[in-house]
Structure 1
C-alpha cells in the first residue's frame, strides 16, 4: 500500500521516534488530525519499523527543496496488505462484469480471496491470448537468477510485458486500484496452463534474501512482496492453491482471484506464505499470475 507524505509530516514522525514517544500516542495524534486507519497503520509502520525509509524520504525532500522541486513523496509499505472494508465489496472496484467481492480473508499468511475479479469474457480472452505462446514453465535459479527448467513446476506458461495488450492494461490498472501499488511495481502477467497431472510443488514466491541473486539484483525491482493468482477456468478436479503450513486450500473458480502478501511490516519474509499448486486430477487448470515488487521493475525487454 502507498501513503503520500510531506516534509512536515516526515519530520514530525522522526522527531516522535527520536524522543521515544510511544506508538500508541502517535496513532492517537494522527487519528485526531484526520488520518484514517490504513494511513495511520502505514505511517506508524514506517516510523517504528522502517525508519530508514522515513529518513530517505526526508533526504529526498531536502534535495527537492534545494532544487525548487518539492512535492509529496509516496512511501510504499513493504507489507502489501490489502485494505479490507467492513462490507463484502472492495470500494468502487468494478468492471463490466460487476463489482469485485471479498469472499474470505486470512490474517496470516495475509490471504484474500476475491470473487468476480475477472469477467468470464476476460478469462476467455486471457486463455486465448496465452494459448499460442505457451512453453514449458521455468523457475528463477537461487544463485544466478536465470530461468531454468525444474521438475517442481510442470505447467506451461506464456509471459507478457506490462502494457503489451489492451486487455493486460485493463487488468493491470485494476490490480493497481486493488493494491495501491503503481503498475510499475509489478512484473508482467503470466498466463499458465496446468494439464492433467501438472503441479507446482510448494515454494516461496519471494527471492531468497541471502541468495546471490538478491545481492546482485536488489536494485532491479527489489524484493517480491505479494502475488495475485487469477483463475481463468473451473478446473474439473484438483489444482487447488495450497498453503500447507497454514492448513489452507483454495479451489480454482473461474473469475476469482487469490491475493497473498509475504513480507511483514519490517520487510521480513513470512514463512507461512509457503504455497503450491496441487496436481490437476482431471482436465486442465488455467491461471494468470502477477507478482508485485518493492521498487519499480523493468525487464530487459522493456
Structure 2
C-alpha cells in the first residue's frame, strides 16, 4: 500500500475500537495492520485516534499537560533551582517520583514552627457545593499559607516550580498538616470529580489539579507513609523527602488513588503543594 494514499476511515477506527474491546493490546493491533500492508506511521496515527475516541466514549477525557521533572537518562540527582535533589524512585503508572532532600532540616523546622499556632481540624473540598467540610476520612490538623507568604514558603515554591517545570502561579498555597498517633487520611484522589455539581465552581480558580507534591517535615517513629493502593506502593515518611505524582485526567485510570497511612507511633508533619492547570487565584 502506498502510505501517501492510505486514509484513516471511520470503518478503520471502528475496527480498531472493536479490537480494543476484545482485549487486543495496541502493539497487537499495530502488528496486524502492518501485516496487512499499512504503513507504520499511518497505523500508529489511526490507533491513537481510534483509542482516544474509545476513551471518550467511556467518559475518559484526553490528557492535559502536567508538571514533570526532567528525568531523561535516569539521573540520580537533579537541580531544583537553588538545590540539588536526589531521585530515589520513579514509576510510569501512576506517574510517581520520590525525591530525596527536597527540603533542608532547617526548612522543615521553620515550616512546622510557622504553622503550629495556626493549626485547625483539617477539612476536605466539598465537591457537591464547591465549599469545604470536616470529613471523618481525614483526621489531621492543618493550615494554609498564602502563596509566597513568607521567605521560606516562597523559596520552596520557587524550588518546586523549577524542579517540575511548572509556572509558580499555577500552584495553590502550601498546606501544612499535623497527624498525631492514629491519625490518617483515607485513600482519595486529589483531582476534582467532573461529575460533581460543585466542580465547575472550584475550577474557576485555576482549572483542574494536575499534580501533587507531599513533603515530609519529620520522620514518624512508625507508620504515616503515603500509600498508593492501586499499585501496592507505600512511600515512607522521611524528613526532607517528598513524593510527587501527576494526573493528566480527572479519572481513576491515572491510578493516583492515595492516602496517608495511620501514624502508629510518634507524629507526622507534612507540607502539600497542589498544582493546577492554570493560574490559581
* TM-score tier (shorter): 0.7 to 0.9
The alpha-carbon distance between structure 1 residues 214 and 236, as it changes in their structure 2 partners (threshold 3 A), is same
8 Å CA contact 1:81, 1:110 repeated in 2 = no
TM (norm. structure 2) is 0.76
Q: Which runs of 4+ in 1 moved over 6 A?
A: none
Q: What is the CA distance between 1:217 and its match in structure 2?
A: 3.6
Q: Which residue of 2 aligns with 1:198?
A: 183
Q: What is the CA distance between 1:215 and its match in structure 2?
A: 2.5
8 Å CA contact 2:130, 2:201 repeated in 1 = no
Q: Which residue of 2 aligns with 1:294?
A: 277
Q: Which residue of 1 aligns with 2:138?
A: 153
Equivalence map 1:1-302=2 (5 Å): 78-86=65-73, 87-90=75-78, 92-93=79-80, 95=82, 99-264=84-249, 270-298=253-281
The alpha-carbon distance between structure 1 residues 220 and 140, as it changes in their structure 2 partners (threshold 3 A), is same
The alpha-carbon distance between structure 1 residues 294 and 197, as it changes in their structure 2 partners (threshold 3 A), is same
Aligned residue pairs, count:
234
8 Å CA contact 2:213, 2:245 repeated in 1 = yes
8 Å CA contact 1:138, 1:150 repeated in 2 = yes
CA distance in 2, matches of 1:108, 1:155: 28
TM (norm. structure 1) is 0.71
Unaligned runs of 5+ in 2: 1-38, 43-47, 53-62
Give me the CA root mean square deviation: 3.0
8 Å CA contact 1:262, 1:269 repeated in 2 = no
Q: What is the CA distance between 1:147 and its match in structure 2?
A: 1.1
